[in-house]
C-alpha cells in the first residue's frame, strides 16, 4: 500500500495570471502558500479484476476506459498500472471550497501511482504531469498554480512564461516575518461549495477575445503580485493586508460570479466590526473561504462567529506532496 499526503493552498497574489489564456500573451506571476490541510490518496493492490475507487462516490470499473472519475481515468491512462488497484481519496476540506483541491488530488494521485510502480517522481515531474492531464488532456479551464504549489509546498513564487516554461522559487521571508504573516492570517468557511469552472471559463473566454477590461484587470493582478512579493520580502507584513483589499476590489470587477451580496456583506463586516485590514475570497467562485489579515484575531473571530462562519485554523506546509506510507508487502 502507498499513501500520499498533498497540501491544499491559499493564493497570496497574482491569481488568474496562471491561465494560458493570459500568460501565453503576457506572462503570469503568482504567489501561493501551501497549508497544512491535505488530500490523502491510498493506492493498494486489488485482489479482484478491475479498479475499486472510493472518493465522494464508489466505483468498481472493469477497465480504465470505463472509469467515470475523469482525473482518475486520465491518470491511470497516463501511468497504467500492471495490476488491478484499489484507490481511496480522503480530504481534510471538501472539494469546491477554493483551495485548489482538484490540482492537489491529481498531484497526490500521480505521486501514489508512481510510488506504487517504483517510479521516480520529483516535484517538477508531479506538477508537469498534473498540468498535462488537467489542462491538455481534459482541457479544463484552470491555471497551473494549484498543481505547482501542491507538488512543491512552501510559499512559492511562480513565473509562467509565454513559451509554457515555468520558473518557481521560494518567497524569501525571514523567520520573524514568516511567523508574523502566519499569525496575521485567518480563514473562515463561508458554508457553500461550487465548481470554479464556470468562473474560469468566463475569464478564459474574455481573455481570448481580448476583452480590454479583463486584460487590464489581470495586468493589475500580476503587478500587484510583484508588489506583494516586494512588501513581504521586505518585512512590511501589515502592508500586505492593504494590498489584499486592493486585490479584492479589482477581482470583484473581473467577473460577475466572483462574489455575491452575502460575501460582500461579510467582507465589510470583517473590516468595519472585525478590524480586518484586508481580505479576499480564496478561489474563483462566490463560495468557499474568506481569508483575512488582522492585528486582532480574537475580535475578528468573535465577529465572524456571530455572523455564522466557522474558522479553519491553519499553518503553512513546506513539504509539498509526500509519501506517508510505503508498504509493498
DSSP 250-270: HHHHH-GGG--HHHHHHHHHH
270 bridge partner residues: none
Kindly give, in sequence order, each residue whose CB lies less than 8 Å from that of residue 137, ignoring residues fewer than 6 positions away: 74, 78
Say how far apart CA 35 and CA 317 lie, in whole Å.
Answer: 5
52 bridge partner residues: 60, 86
Residue in 37, 160, 173, 41 with CA at minimum distance from that of residue 110: 41
Max CA pair span of the chain = 60
CB 71 within 8 A of CB 109: yes
> Which one-letter DSSP state was computed for residue 321?
S
Helix (H, G, I), strand (E, B) or coil at 185: strand
Identify the residue whose cell numbers are 508574523: 180
Residue in 38, 42, 13, 46 with CA at minimum distance from that of residue 28: 13
Helix (H, G, I), strand (E, B) or coil at 173: coil
Q: What is the pLDDT of residue 255?
A: 57
Say how far apart CA 147 and CA 168 lie, in whole Å.
Answer: 12
41 bridge partner residues: 4, 89
Other residues' Cβ atoms within 10 Å of the Cβ of residue 115: 19
Per-residue pLDDT of the chain (329 residues; tens, 9 = 90+): 999 999 999 999 998 899 999 999 999 999 999 999 999 999 999 999 999 999 999 999 999 999 999 999 999 999 999 899 999 999 999 888 889 999 999 999 999 999 999 998 999 999 999 999 999 999 998 999 999 999 999 999 999 999 999 999 999 999 999 999 999 999 999 876 655 555 556 655 666 666 788 899 899 999 999 999 999 999 999 999 999 998 888 776 655 556 678 888 999 999 999 999 999 988 655 668 999 999 999 999 999 999 999 999 999 999 999 999 887 65
Say how far apart CA 89 and CA 301 lie, in whole Å.
Answer: 31
Identify the residue whose cell numbers are 466572483: 258
- What the chain holds in terms of domains, given with CATH numbers, is 2-173+317-326 (3.30.230.10), 175-311 (3.30.70.890)
Say how far apart CA 218 and CA 271 lie, in whole Å.
Answer: 25
Say how far apart CA 126 and CA 116 lie, in whole Å.
Answer: 14
Kindly give, in sequence order, each residue whose CB lies less than 8 Å from that of residue 158, ignoring residues fewer than 6 positions away: 18, 28, 29, 30, 31, 32, 144, 145, 148, 149, 166, 167, 168
Other residues' Cβ atoms within 10 Å of the Cβ of residue 24: 16
DSSP conformation letters of 209-245: TT-HHHHHHHHHHHHHHHHHHHHHHTT-HHHHHHHHH
Q: Residue 310 — left, alpha, or beta (φ > 0 → left; ψ -120 to 50 → alpha)?
A: beta
Q: What is the pLDDT of residue 260?
A: 79
Say how far apart CA 93 and CA 174 lie, in whole Å.
Answer: 29
Amino acid at each position: 500500500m502507498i499513501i500520499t499526503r498533498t497540501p491544499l493552498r491559499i493564493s497570496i497574489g497574482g491569481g488568474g495570471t496562471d491561465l494560458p489564456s493570459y500568460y501565453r500573451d503576457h506572462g503570469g506571476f503568482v504567489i501561493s502558500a501551501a497549508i497544512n490541510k491535505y488530500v490523502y490518496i491510498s493506492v493498494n493492490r486489488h485482489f479482484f479484476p478491475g479498479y475499486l475507487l472510493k472518493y465522494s462516490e464508489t466505483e468498481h470499473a472493469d477497465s480504465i476506459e470505463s472509469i467515470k472519475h475523469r482525473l482518475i481515468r486520465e491518470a491511470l491512462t497516463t501511468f497504467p498500472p500492471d495490476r488491478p488497484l484499489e484507490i481511496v481519496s480522503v480530504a481534510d476540506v471538501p472539494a469546491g471550497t477554493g483551495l485548489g483541491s482538484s490540482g492537489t488530488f491529481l498531484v497526490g494521485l500521480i505521486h501514489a501511482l508512481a510510488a506504487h510502480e517504483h517510479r521516480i517522481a520529483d516535484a517538477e515531474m508531479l506538477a508537469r504531469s498534473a498540468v498535462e492531464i488537467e489542462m491538455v488532456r481534459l482541457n479544463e479551464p484552470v491555471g497551473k498554480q494549484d498543481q505547482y504549489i501542491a507538488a512543491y509546498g512552501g510559499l512559492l513564487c511562480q513565473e509562467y512564461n509565454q513559451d509554457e516554461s515555468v520558473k518557481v522559487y521560494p518567497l524569501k521571508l525571514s523567520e520573524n516575518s514568516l511567523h508574523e504573516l502566519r499569525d496575521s492570517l485567518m480563514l473562515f468557511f463561508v458554508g457553500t461549495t461550487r465548481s470554479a469552472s464556470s468562473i474560469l471559463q468566463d475569464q478564459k473566454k474574455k481573455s481570448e477575445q481580448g476583452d480590454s477590461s479583463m486584460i487590464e484587470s489581470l495586468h493589475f493582478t500580476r503587478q500587484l503580485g510583484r508588489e506583494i512579493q516586494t512588501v513581504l520580502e521586505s518585512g512590511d507584513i501589515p502592508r500586505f493586508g492593504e494590498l489584499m483589499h486592493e486585490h479584492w476590489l479589482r477581482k470583484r470587477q473581473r467577473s460577475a460570479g466572483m462574489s455575491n451580496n452575502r460575501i460582500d456583506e461579510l467582507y465589510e463586516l470583517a473590516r468595519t466590526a472585525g478590524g480586518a485590514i484586508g481580505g479576499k475570497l480564496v478561489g474563483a467562485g462566490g463560495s468557499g473561504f474568506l481569508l483575512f489579515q488582522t492585528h486582532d484575531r480574537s475580535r475578528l473571530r468573535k465577529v465572524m462567529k456571530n455572523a455564522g462562519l466557522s474558522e479553519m485554523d491553519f499553518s503553512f506546509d513546506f513539504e509539498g506532496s509526500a509519501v506517508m506510507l510505503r508498504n509493498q508487502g
